[in-house]
Amino acid sequence: STAETTLLQGIRTDLFIGGEWQPAEGDRTFGVSDPATGLELRRVADASPADGIRALDAAVAAQAEWAATAPRRRSTILRDAFDLLVERRADFALLMTLEMGKPLAEADGEVSYGGEFLRWFSEEAVRISGRYGLNPEGTGQTIVSHRPVGPCFFITPWNFPLAMATRKIAPALAAGCTVVIKPAELTPLTTLHLAALFDEVGLPAGVLNVVPTSRSKDLGASVIADTRLRKLSFTGSTPVGVTLLKQAADNVLRTSMELGGNAPFVVFEDADLDAAVEGALLAKFRNIGQACTAANRFLVHEDVAAEFSRRLGDRVSELKVGRGTEEGVRIGPLITDSAVANTAALVDDAVAQGAELVTGGSKLDGAGSFFAPTVLTGIVAGSRILNEEIFAPVLAISTFRTEDEAVEKANDTPYGLVGYVFTRDLARGHRMIDRIDTGMMGLNTGVVSNASAPFGGVKQSGLGREGGAEGIAEYLETKYTLLVGQ
C-alpha cells in the first residue's frame, strides 16, 4: 500500500554512529524482508566488525560527558522520546508488522509496552541515590554512591523489535551509560527508526549508536573483546547467551542475560475456566507464540482437562491467520520458513508419541511463513515439545492429578523464566509462588510484563532484571568511600 511505501522510504538505513548516518565499510548492505510475503522491504547498511569498533569509539568518546549530564536533562530527553514515540505510534506499529509479522493491533500494543520503558526510566533517572553512615567503630564515615557502569553493548532479538531495544536503552541512558546496539538482522528497521527519533529529541551524538549487521558473530566478538566496553546485555536464545557469557568472561564484563523460557501454565480444578481459557489464548498466541514468556507446557488438572481442551480448541480454530496488516488477523506468519519446519517437526513428534490433535497441526500453503494455530492434548512424557521452546502458535496440553505432581512437572526443565497458575484458592496460589522455580509468576493472568516490574529469569533463563527499580541497578556501579578525620 502507499502508506507502507511512504513509511519504508522514510526509514534511515545507514549505520548510526556518533550522531551521523554512515554507510558500512565497503558500502555493504543486506536485505530485510516481510515474513508474510517473503518480499524484500528495504536494504540496510551491513556493519563490519571494524564498523562495530567505530561505534564503540563513539560511545566511549561520549561516555564522560553523558555521565556528567544532569539527571534532569537525561530524564527530559527520555520523556521527550516517549512523547514523540506516542505521537508516531502508527508508524512504529506498522513498521514492526512489516518486518516482523505480528498483527497490527499487537504491534500497537508493543508501542505502548515498549514506550513505557522510556517513560518509566525518565522517572527513575532523577531517583538514583546512595547512602551515608558511620562505620561500626565510630572512626569514619561510610559513603556509598552509584555511578554509571560505562559503555554498553546490546544484542537484541527479532520478536519484539521495539520493546527489546527500549527495555535496555532507557535504563542505560537514565543511568548515564552510552550504548552500541546491534539489532537482530531480521528486524533492524525499528531500531534504526528509534535512533532517528532519539536524534530528533536532542540525544547528544555518540550516546546511542546502531550497527545492524549480517555478521553478528564476528562483530559481536570484536566489540565484546574490546577492553573499553564495560557491559553486555543480551536477549535471545540460551545457547547464544552461553557463548556470549564465555566471551564476556575474558573481558570481565558486567552482563545481563534474558534467555529462553519453557513456561508452565498450570490450571487447577478450582480455576475459573473462562479466565483460564482467556489467559491461555494470550499466554500462547500473543506474538504468534514467539515470546520467551509464551506458555510452553499446559498442565491441566485431569478433572477439567477435557473441558479446557474443548473450549480452547473451539476458540483457536476461529483465530484468523494472515498478514498482520489485514483486518481481524490474530495470527501472523512465523519469522522464517525454517521456524515453520521446526514447528512441524515438534508437532509431528508429539503426535507420533501419542498426542491427539484438536485443531491445526500443519503449515499453511502459499506465500509467507504461516503455521496453523494448533491445540494438542494428551502430550506423552518424553515428547520433544515438553523440553524445547516451541516459539510458535502451538498449544500442548498434558494432565496432572495432585498439587505435588503439578509442581514437579512445572519445575522439570532447565529454564525458569515465568510460570502461570490459575486457581481460585489464594493459599494454593501462594504455595505455587514459593514452589515454582521461575523469576516471574502470573497468578490468574496470561501476561505479566510491565515496565514498572523486574522482568527476568532464574536457572538457564538468564541473569539480571529489566524494568522496575531493579532495571536501572543493572547499569550502575557501587562505589564505597571511607572518609576519616577532620
- The catalytic site residues sit at 258
Residue range at the interface with ligand ADP (CB under 6 A); choices 99-107, 150-158, 314-322, 414-422: 150-158
CB of 223 to ligand ADP, least distance (A): 9
Residue 236 binding ligand ADP, by CB under 6 A: yes
Residue 47 binding ligand ADP, by CB under 6 A: no
CA distance 86 to 92: 9
Residue from the set 161, 176, 220, 467 that interacts with ligand ADP by CB under 6 A: 220
Nearer to ligand ADP, 263 or 407 (CB): 263
Nearer to ligand ADP, 176 or 462 (CB): 462
**Strand, helix or coil at 81?**
helix
CB of 452 to ligand ADP, least distance (A): 25
CA distance 175 to 470: 12
Q: 360 — alpha (psi -120 to 50), left (phi > 0) or beta? A: left
Residue 184 binding ligand ADP, by CB under 6 A: yes
Residue range at the interface with ligand ADP (CB under 6 A); choices 190-198, 236-244, 350-358, 437-445: 236-244
Residue 9: is it exposed, middle or buried by C-beta count within 10 angstroms (0-12/13-18/19+)? exposed
Beta bridge partners of 256: 233
Residue range at the interface with ligand ADP (CB under 6 A); choices 125-133, 153-161, 274-282, 456-464: 153-161
How distant, in Å, are the alpha carbons of 18, 165, 182, 190, 320 from that of 111?
Answer: 26, 11, 20, 11, 22
Q: Give Cα 246 to chain centroid, integer Å.
A: 21
CB of 167 to ligand ADP, least distance (A): 14
Q: Which helix (H) or strand (E) holds 145?
A: strand 140-148
* Cβ–Cβ under 8 Å, residues 418 and 293: yes
How distant, in Å, are the alpha carbons of 158, 166, 297 from that of 221?
Answer: 20, 23, 35
CB of 436 to ligand ADP, least distance (A): 24
Residue range at the interface with ligand ADP (CB under 6 A); choices 59-67, 233-241, 295-303, 308-316: 233-241
Nearer to ligand ADP, 193 or 301 (CB): 193
Residue from the set 4, 14, 123, 185 that interacts with ligand ADP by CB under 6 A: 185
CB of 292 to ligand ADP, least distance (A): 8
> For 279, what's the count of Cα atoms within 13 Å in the CB-facing half-sphere?
27
Residue 157 binding ligand ADP, by CB under 6 A: yes
CA distance 94 to 429: 39
CA distance 340 to 321: 14
Nearer to ligand ADP, 267 or 394 (CB): 394
Residue 243 binding ligand ADP, by CB under 6 A: yes
Nearer to ligand ADP, 268 or 371 (CB): 371
Nearer to ligand ADP, 237 or 445 (CB): 237
Residue from the set 69, 237, 362, 452 that interacts with ligand ADP by CB under 6 A: 237
CB of 31 to ligand ADP, least distance (A): 15
Nearer to ligand ADP, 179 or 299 (CB): 179
CA distance 221 to 53: 11
Residue range at the interface with ligand ADP (CB under 6 A); choices 151-159, 202-210, 308-316, 409-417: 151-159
- Enumerate residues 188-217 that contact ligand ADP by CB under 6 A: 216-217
CA distance 105 to 115: 15
Q: Give Cα 193 to chain centroid, integer Å.
A: 18
Nearer to ligand ADP, 123 or 388 (CB): 388
Beta bridge partners of 182: 155
Cα-based angle 241, 242, 247 (whole degrees, multiple of 5)? 95
* Size, binding site for ligand ADP by CB under 6 A: 13
Phi, psi of 110 (to 5 degrees): -70, -30
CB of 406 to ligand ADP, least distance (A): 29
Question: Could you tell me which residues come within 8 angstroms of residue 276 by beta carbon, excluding any fewer than 6 positions away?
Answer: 267, 308, 422
Query: Which residues are at the interface with ligand ADP (CB under 6 A)?
Result: 155-158, 184-185, 216-217, 220, 236-237, 240, 243
